[in-house]
Chains A and B, each alone.
Chain A
Amino acid sequence: MTVLANSAGKGGRVEEGAIARDRNRFVAAATDASLTALIAFGLFLPLIGFETVQNINEVLVLRTRWPFLFSLVAIIGAGRLAYVLVVPPWLARRAARPIAAEPPAWRVAVARWFVPCAIGFVVAYPLMVAWALGLRGSLKWIDNFGIQILIYVMLGWGLNIVVGLAGLLDLGYVAFYAVGAYSYALLATHFGLAFWILLPLAGILASFWGILLGFPVLRLRGDYLAIVTLAFGEIIRMVLINWVALTNGYAGISGIPRPSFFGIPFNADDNGFAAVFGLPFSPIYRTIFLYYIIMALALLTCFVTVRLRRLPVGRAWEALREDEIACRSLGINTTNTKLTAFAMGAMFAGFAGSFFAARQSFISPESFTFLESATILSIVVLGGMGSQLGVAIAAIVMIGGTEITRQLDFLKEIFGPTFDPTQYRMLIVGFAMVVIMVWRPRGLITTRAPSVYLKVRKTIAADLVKEGRG
């Protein structure tokens, strides 16, 4: 169609040629789409075309779903047709457009004010929500969206030290999160120690485990390191499952004490938070308090990381990611440098873990599966490795997005009451990971800001920055 519009003024002959070309293009697109539909039919025939269900005698029988299969195939075919017809011309038009040399003024202003505004928003968020939706209605928004996202922002920032800065691929990060959570849960339930004492302790224990596990594996590179860390993560989880005497196995640990407001508990008693401050009792105060704890912890993580990047150790991490052999030729002890990155990342995971245990008041090995590690790693990679802002945005997109799928109850009215949108949550997450990687393999924010400069701070294009070989 665009070809047609562009050539309209150049005389009839050209126009006829354009129509013919357009028709050819349509035929090619239709062929492509039918082929795609055919492949989709093959892909989905066994698992969508047939459903295995247990009948009343608990024997597995088959049910067919032909209408569903064919409509899915039709949708895919139509989608492909639309894609082929629309996207390549659009890309061609975009490529033809000249690139502006200087970014427009509004973008510069946005870039400058974005971070302060975002921090302001995060600080004001629970109060705004509570004001807008009332105490009862805001609980879900502060807890599921606020706290949940901030936990992953913090974990993402923690793992960013290991993966983004030091270039060490860690697929078992959740193990340190688990160490933090179980440290808090066990020490708090057995010895009655307070949250504020156990928080740093959990961080120290997690970083101790980071060093312990890191030491033997750090000379491995790339994918191998990733797989060993995955193995360690799984081993720790299996020990948590099977060491029932300590961890209570699958049943988990419940009744974990929650943090108090500097000694004042959040309960309905006379000495509870609400009574002391003369407020009507509501569980929302605790949630708001927890929100500010995790916000402070996340900001601490960010602050320390930003600070470390400008110190020798942080520069050594980045140098390590760029070229390990060159680092050694400069007298940098790469083992220690890697271990500090591992320990530092583990420490923040430990903090986050103990917060998680305190918030949930119940933990079990189910919360520390490989899927969690994969989620955190994808937040880091999706955000753009090494970029604090990118990681935060990615955490909001990934965790916020999965939380939104929990809220899609209205779909039940369209697809009937048996439709459960939460089932599709991980399906969408998995597919989104693939799509985002194909779309932006280096993540959302790909440039690197230098840690020091002589005259001007220039951002460094992504293609120069190495991704680390482990």
Chain B
Amino acid sequence: MPLLVDTLLRVEHLTMRFGGLVAVDDLSFDVREGNITALIGPNGAGKTTVFNCITGFYKPSEGRLGLRHGKPAVWDALEPLTDSGARRRVHADGTLFLLERMPDYLVARQARVARTFQNIRLFPGMTALENLIVAQHNRLMLASGYTLLGVLGFPSYARAERAAMERARAWLDRIGLLARADDPAGALAYGAQRRLEIARAMCTQPVLLCLDEPAAGLNPRESAELNQLLRTIRDEDGVSVLLIEHDMSVVMEISDHVIVLDYGVKIADGAPETVRNDAKVIAAYLGLGDEEAKIEAEIGS
């Protein structure tokens, strides 16, 4: 596969084994900058495992995960970087990362890949506002002089905290939760929790946002709002989105690019229209014999 100029994340030969089980088998795909890319497939296809590999929660058994910041020219460093054994290479016009070499928190902090979770992982005992402030931890930590200046009450920290509050407030406004800012996250309705988790991930100022089933459990109206939110994240914030989704109405409506997984193997890759008519994809869904999968496939086609 040739490297396209707008490739943001390049997954090559990703394989993940758990003991004897091969959850992801030799998977390769690209996520392009400014796109919403959907990763779909029947239950147990290995989608979340791919996410966990990209975000550093699992160390892949094999494969390379390259991510670029800055100009496309940094891709030229891919082979030298791989050979050097380093995690990243900084250039004048950008940085190239090899995500499989980085621990989870560095993937978020340095490579700026943010994620949400299939079963929402908010901080339920902290308020919605606090959730968004915690997401800005690293910037605030720096501003507080690793706590020292903060304890002494230096003004630089107060400034940084005000800015963080401002960003949090703006995001709460965008997801329609400004009035609930001081309520604990655990007390919010399910749909609101989903939106808050996305806002929290966005508060880390990522280049790539990975969403694990963002529409699960949402009603049609909330689902439509989510579509709108994801579009603005792509178009206004300029953040690329990679999402796992079962809700085909979401996938087909908003994604620019769809990758279909089945039993850890990629069976289709392309624009939504091409994928939905792909014989293998239909077979994978129908072949499940599962009523729900049938319905999903019907909605899709």
Contact = CB atoms under 8 A, between A and B. Distances in A.
Q: A contacts B directly in the complex (CB < 8 Å)?
A: yes
Interface of A: 304, 307-308, 311-313, 315-316, 318-319, 322-323, 325-334, 340, 448, 450-458, 460-461, 464-466
A206 B172 CA distance: 42
A467 to B, nearest CB: 9
Contacts of B178: 454
B147 A315 contact: no
Contacts of B150: 307, 311-313
A312 B144 contact: yes
Contacts of A313: 141, 144, 146-147, 150
B276 to A, nearest CB: 31
Interface of B: 55, 57, 104-106, 108-109, 114-115, 117, 121-127, 129-130, 133-135, 137-138, 140-141, 144, 146-147, 150-151, 157, 165, 169, 172, 178, 181-184, 186-187, 200-201, 204
Contact of B117 (A307, A329, A460): A329
A319 to B, nearest CB: 5
10 contacts: A308-B147, A312-B141, A316-B137, A318-B125, A325-B117, A327-B134, A448-B125, A456-B182, A458-B127, A464-B186
Nearest to B131: A319
Nearest to A311: B150
A84 B181 CA distance: 46
Nearest to A460: B184
Contact of A332 (B137, B146, B165): B137
Given A326-B123, A458-B182, A465-B125, A452 B165 contact: yes
Given A304-B151, A455-B182, A315 B133 contact: yes
A328 B182 contact: no
Across the A-B interface, the 10 shortest Cβ-Cβ residue pairs = A465-B125, A331-B109, A331-B108, A322-B123, A464-B186, A326-B121, A312-B140, A454-B181, A311-B150, A328-B104
Given A323-B122, A452-B133, 14 more contacts: A307-B151, A313-B150, A319-B126, A322-B123, A323-B121, A323-B123, A329-B121, A330-B108, A330-B134, A332-B137, A334-B105, A454-B181, A460-B126, A464-B187
A216 to B, nearest CB: 17
B184 A331 contact: no
Contacts of B146: 313
B162 to A, nearest CB: 11
B32 to A, nearest CB: 23
Given A307-B151, A311-B150, A312-B141, A452 B122 contact: no
A451 B130 contact: yes
Contact of A460 (B127, B140, B172): B127
A389 to B, nearest CB: 18
A367 to B, nearest CB: 31
Contact of A318 (B105, B123, B165): B123
A458 B183 contact: yes
Contacts of A328: 57, 104-105, 108
Nearest to A323: B121
Nearest to A335: B105
Contact of B151 (A308, A458, A464): A308
B137 A330 contact: yes
B204 A331 contact: yes
Contacts of A323: 121-124
